[in-house]
Structure formats: C-alpha cells, structure tokens
C-alpha cells in the first residue's frame, strides 16, 4: 500500500480549515506543508503560525517540507508548532548530518529532500540519519508543474541504495503527482506520494485517495 500526503499549498486559503479536514477524511497518511522563503525558491508561502493552526486541526501528522535557506535556524520552532516530519533540502545546508540529528533531537522524523538535478549519492553518507528521502520531481517553488522524467529515474537509484544498505527509510515523491503519473513513481520504489493540485483539483477527493493508495 502506497501512502499519500495532500499538499495544502494547493488548498483554498479562504477555506483552509475545510481543506485540511477534507485531506484528513480522504485516507491521507500525512498532511504536506510547504514552507518557502523566496530565497531557496522563487516563491513565498507560509510558516510557523499557519502550521500551528493547521496541526491543531489536523487528525493526521504534518509533514513539513522546508524550502528555505539555513533551515537549522527554524527546526525548533517548526517542531513546537506541530511538525511530525521535518524535511530539509541537502542543497540548503552546509552540515546535513548535524541538521538531521537536530531534527531528531526535537522529537521529529528527519527527511532529506533533493532537487531534480542533485546527485542522490549525497544520501549514502547519511544513511541511517534520516527517516525519509524526498525526491523532487519538479523544480521546487510552485504547485501544478509537470513531472520531470529524469527525476523519476532517480527514485529507482535511491530504492537500490536503500535496499542494498538494508535501510527502511521512506521514499517520498513530490511534484507532478497525478492519477496518470503516480504508477511510474510507485513502480520505481516510492512509498509516499505528495499530491497538491491533482488532489485539491479532483472532483472526488475520496476516490483520488483510494486510487493512489493502491500504488
């Protein structure tokens, strides 16, 4: 069974509470929360105050994807605001291993995200220090983009690396996940799929959840 995480970046912000509840009612495993700072990515989204409100309402754990420079400055604040998973970009920090232990020491699961052009070998030297590898299948910053096929092939490389090392970390995929692309991602070894525009734009979100979880 594949897990899935609706991204509230594509929610209707005037009805955010309703859209959080609708994600929780569709069999989702995590609520994906995209934080953007206008520096690491060319867009600004939302931060700790919004997470505090969302995590208080959500009945599923919040999966916080930090697309920010110097994420080490904000780990404690996001943990205190209700994050269950905190994922940082390998490209955004100089001391990845230290940052992953900082996340775990706050009681959260630690994730490493990789941009489409980032070599997955970076993960080999922190195997065991992360609970989740997040493969970006679009350049981060915006919802509603088209999946990049080369980034999909990277999922299989990471699957092989984890299996050979007998590491059971989750492989999360983010960007362009839809009912027409999710099978390729699952077949390459993804275990957790993020869906923003495809989930919130679906005429039947419950059916979307049922379908995607089949993998």
Minimum distance from residue 194 beta carbon to ligand DX5 (Å): 5
Instruction: Tell me the residue ranges of DSSP E strands in the chain.
Output: 3-6, 31-36, 62-67, 83-89, 109-114, 132-136, 170-174, 192-195
Q: Does 34 bind Zn ion (CB under 5 A)?
A: yes
Residues that bind ligand DX5 (CB under 6 A): 7, 9-10, 32, 34, 65, 138, 140-145, 174-177, 194-198
Laid out side by side, the sheet with 31-36 consists of 3-6, 192-195, 170-174, 132-136, 109-114, 83-89, 62-67, 31-36
DSSP-derived 3-state class of residue 11: coil
Nearer to ligand DX5, 82 or 143 (CB): 143
Q: How far is the CB of 21 from ligand DX5 (least distance, A)?
A: 18
Stretch that binds Zn ion, among 92-100, 125-133, 161-169, 170-178 (CB under 5 A): 170-178
How near is the Cβ of 65 to Zn ion at its closest, in Å?
A: 4
Interface residues with Zn ion (CB under 5 A)?
Answer: 34, 65, 174
């Amino acid at each position: 069974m594949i897990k899935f995480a609706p991204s509230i970046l594509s929610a209707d912000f005037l009805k955010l509470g309703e859209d959080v509840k609708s994600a929780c009612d569709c069999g989702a495993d995590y609520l994906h929360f995209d934080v953007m700072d206008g520096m690491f990515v060319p867009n600004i989204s939302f931060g700790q105050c919004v997470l505090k409100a969302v995590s208080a309402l959500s009945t599923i754990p919040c999966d916080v994807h930090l697309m920010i420079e110097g994420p080490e400055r904000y780990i404690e604040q996001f943990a205190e605001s209700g994050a269950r998973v905190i994922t940082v970009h390998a490209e955004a920090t100089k001391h990845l291993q230290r940052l992953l232990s900082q996340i775990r020491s706050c009681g959260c699961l630690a994730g490493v995200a990789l941009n489409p052009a980032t070599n997955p070998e970076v993960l080999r030297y922190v195997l065991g220090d992360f609970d989740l590898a997040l493969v970006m299948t679009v350049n981060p910053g915006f919802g509603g983009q088209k999946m990049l096929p080369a980034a999909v092939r990277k999922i299989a490389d990471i699957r092989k690396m984890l299996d050979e090392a007998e590491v059971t970390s989750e492989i999360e995929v983010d960007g362009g996940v839809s009912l027409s692309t999710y099978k390729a991602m699952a077949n390459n070894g993804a275990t957790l799929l993020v869906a923003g525009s495809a989930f919130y734009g679906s005429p039947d979100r419950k059916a979307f959840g049922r379908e995607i979880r089949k993998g």
